[in-house]
Structure 1
Amino acid sequence: MTKLLMLGGAGAMGSETTKDLVKTSDFSEIVLGDNDVEKAEKFASKLDDDRLSVIEVDASDVDDLAEKMEGFDIVASALPYRFDLNVTKACVRTGVDGIDLDNEEDQWDYNKEAKEKGITYIPGCGATPGTTNLMARRGVELLEEAEEVSISFAAFRSTAIAPGLLQTTFAEFEPDIESRIYYENGKFIQVPPLTGGKSVEFHEQIGKQEVVYIPHPETKTIPATFSNLNKVEVRGCFPPKTMELVKLLNEYDFYREEPISVDDQQIKPLDFIRELLLNTPSAKKAPVWAYGLIVEVSGTYKEKPAKVTLKNNHPSMDKWGGKSAYGKNVGIPLSIGVQMLAEGKIDKKGVKPPEEAIKPTEFFEELSKRGIEIQEDFERYAS
């Protein structure tokens, strides 16, 4: 009898996690924690599973989170990344295992305390971070000596799919964000937005796209987990229209903090754009809903240069229900991770990244059962 608290389980990404949990898990109770109880109850009623119920949770309040976690065996969070640290604090305080979709850098500060409490907390178990971390680990394991990891992703969704995801998109192209870095020879090198362009061929639903440096946690966690690596970099892109938008936002300095006056009201330029997009129907539509992941791991095998390339593939929009062809790639990995955690298949204690805590082969097998394939290509070179 295992009780799960699923935070944000009725949201844009968390709803796909909940659907998969209903189909595949053996939790005795799945409680959706949300600040919008009415929305969550409507969603839960459609799934028609007696294990589902809803409670109100204020994720901005650590005390409230901790109180609501009492009595649960495990917590999963699909909340926007700005709540990740609060969820981690509450899990550590109550001594409950946890896992979430994204990552907030200060979460790692709770590693020692989580170990002392004997719990596991895994930040970033979605598509990227998440599946990409395990693709990187798999590539490292296949080589005798891994030297470089290059991650590329293409997140094909509408520009304003949800407030949290829109904020994530904007944040990744902020001009001066310190976390937009790559790792090389023991140093983290900060780079401007929209730089480091590289042409990448994703699966056929997405095709060839140019990816650029993106601030992602894999850039820091993977070198820490695999200390022999010389270079780690993450590049990504969104659909062409979204990329055009963020280029314009940077070109015309919409990221500036100084507010402007609009009808005698003071508003920051980016706040205006955000509200405009969230209230524009066309900004919620996209011709293609899909997720592309490619991880290249270079090094040596039997003393010769070698490279392992791992790519994902998944069912099309027609087979996977329109925008679910994007959301499932994010939500399903969280469902798999929380089930592995509940089943005792993850034994690392503390706050640990996916590549340190989760074995890739079993994780990929579970992805495959749900239609997400991770393909491997091993190349060896003469010298």
Structure 2
Amino acid sequence: MSKVTILGGSGAVGSIATETLASSGVFSEITVADINFAAARKLVGKLKGAKLSVAELDAENPHSIRRAIGGSAVVLNCVGPFYKHGPTIMKAVIEAGINYVDVCDDFDATEKLLAMDDKAKKAGVSALIGMGSSPGVANVLVRFCADSLLDQVEAVDIYHAHGGEKIEGAAVVKHRIHSMKVDIPMFLDGKFTTVNLFEDSGKALEEETEFKDVGTYSVYGYPHPETITLPKYLKGVKRVTNLGLVLPPAYAELIKGMVRLDITDEKPIEVQGHKVIPLEFAVAYILSQREKLMKEAGINQPMGCLKIVVKGYKDGGKNTYIFSMSSRGQGMGEGTGIPAAIGAILMGTGKITEKGVLPPEACVNPMDLL
């Protein structure tokens, strides 16, 4: 029995991961570390099982991170946005010699994390990154197809839609904005390339897809890291894409509009004698409209679906496998937090032994997860 620390453990994703770990019986000690100390304490007060404690966390301060994770066997990082906090946190965890799991869903942060591979190996650390839904479960199911169902994987198309969660924090909205501003990596015709959401290259990938239990929606390119990691582990694959949307569509369009109008800069501007950061205004305005837009769309509960379409060849014949993980009544918190907790459990029970920085398809045995 050992200790696990969940960074961001009282947030929308982290709280579900914390609840899952507390009920698992795998770890003897659980520490919930969060900038919102009161929320962390409230969450811990509701849970039973392992020895539970709370720590205050400043994700931008390496000293605060090291203090929070002291004595841990595994650190599960649920602090977003990852493009801002991911590299700083993982660097501190590696330097502390502690095994690490996260739910990083930003491709640019993923590239920075993968660049720490040698550092992790030298420290004897196993770092499992992107162990949520997409990325996470998606990667492992593709690995399952490649190992057990197909002789050759030709194409992987990952789709996701979710919305209606009880809470949506500023970090999630900042991730959405960031995802729309950057060039989006895709693997097309056997080559890495990028597309822009608002240009012809991005629009060419938009399509309507049916999501089990959720509905049929138009999806657009997402810069999730599966498109940069899966091709490295799927020899001969020709296509890997990631497309999705947040529900309701009007909410997604509001965020797109803010990005299109470029009201998302981080440089302060003066407004009637006050310094205002456009990004912070955009996030606050988007969140202020969320409840109204959900009500207009008739969304009154969390819902979501992860859909993976894998095409390839088996015994000379062409095959297509479609996986769907869907729910009404549960959403992003469960879809991301439960796989993250399972990743921490696999790490804590010795199911993941490879050293270095690794995406799920590189180190998670699909049957262990399933």
Scaled by the length of structure 1, the TM-score of the pair is 0.86
The CA deviation at 1:281 is: 7.1
Contact kept, 8 Å, 1:160 with 1:166, in 2: the verdict is no
Q: In 2, Cα distance between the equivalents of 1:27 and 1:90?
A: 22
Q: In 1, Cα distance between the equivalents of 2:317 and 2:280?
A: 53
Contact kept, 8 Å, 1:160 with 1:278, in 2: the verdict is no
Q: Deviations over 1:276-332 (max 9, x none)?
A: 234557269653412211111112111122222111133x32xxxxxx443111110
Contact kept, 8 Å, 1:119 with 1:349, in 2: the verdict is yes
1:303 paired to 2:304: no
1:213 paired to 2:226: no
The CA deviation at 1:188 is: 2.1
Aligned ranges for residues 118-137 of structure 1 at < 5 Å? Answer: 118-137=124-143
Q: Pick the aligned partner of 1:235 from 231, 234, 243.
A: 243
The CA deviation at 1:113 is: 1.7
Greater alpha carbon shift after TM alignment, 94-103 vs 274-283? 274-283
Greater alpha carbon shift after TM alignment, 105-114 vs 54-63? 54-63
Aligned ranges for residues 206-355 of structure 1 at < 5 Å? Answer: 206-239=214-247, 240-255=249-264, 261-279=270-288, 282=291, 286-314=299-327, 316-317=328-329, 324-355=330-361
The CA deviation at 1:130 is: 0.7
Distance verdict in 2 for CA 1:332–1:284, change over 3 Å: farther
Q: In 2, Cα distance between the equivalents of 1:126 and 1:58?
A: 23
Q: Alpha carbon RMSD of aligned pairs, Å? A: 2.2
Q: In 2, Cα distance between the equivalents of 1:9 and 1:352?
A: 22
1:44 paired to 2:53: no
For residue 138 of structure 1, what is the aligned residue in structure 2?
144
Counterpart amino acid of 2:348? Answer: A
Counterpart amino acid of 2:74? Answer: I
The CA deviation at 1:98 is: 0.6
Name the % identity.
27
Q: Pick the aligned partner of 2:174 from 130, 148, 167.
A: 167
Counterpart amino acid of 1:164? Answer: A
Q: In 2, Cα distance between the equivalents of 1:63 and 1:362?
A: 35
What secondary structure sits across from 1:27 in the alignment?
A: coil
1:192 paired to 2:196: yes
For residue 14 of structure 1, what is the aligned residue in structure 2?
14
For residue 203 of structure 1, what is the aligned residue in structure 2?
212
1:83 paired to 2:85: yes
The CA deviation at 1:95 is: 1.0
Q: In 2, Cα distance between the equivalents of 1:189 and 1:352?
A: 22
What secondary structure sits across from 1:43 in the alignment?
A: helix
Q: In 2, Cα distance between the equivalents of 1:258 and 1:70?
A: 36
Greater alpha carbon shift after TM alignment, 249-258 vs 232-241? 249-258
Counterpart amino acid of 1:181? Answer: P
Q: Deviations over 1:73-113 (max 9, x none)?
A: 11111111222212211121111101011152201111112
Q: Pick the aligned partner of 1:363 from 359, 366, 369.
A: 369
Contact kept, 8 Å, 1:7 with 1:33, in 2: the verdict is yes
Distance verdict in 2 for CA 1:31–1:250, change over 3 Å: closer
Contact kept, 8 Å, 1:139 with 1:296, in 2: the verdict is no
Distance verdict in 2 for CA 1:330–1:257, change over 3 Å: closer
1:114 paired to 2:126: no
Distance verdict in 2 for CA 1:236–1:303, change over 3 Å: same
The CA deviation at 1:151 is: 0.7
What secondary structure sits across from 1:238 in the alignment?
A: strand
Contact kept, 8 Å, 2:25 with 2:49, in 1: the verdict is no
Contact kept, 8 Å, 1:158 with 1:283, in 2: the verdict is no
Contact kept, 8 Å, 2:27 with 2:50, in 1: the verdict is no
For residue 187 of structure 2, what is the aligned residue in structure 1?
183
Q: In 1, Cα distance between the equivalents of 2:337 and 2:266?
A: 33
What secondary structure sits across from 1:193 in the alignment?
A: coil
Greater alpha carbon shift after TM alignment, 23-32 vs 189-198? 189-198
Paired positions, count: 353
The CA deviation at 1:258 is: 7.1
Contact kept, 8 Å, 1:160 with 1:283, in 2: the verdict is no
Q: Deviations over 1:106-146 (max 9, x none)?
A: 01111112112222101111111111111221222211111
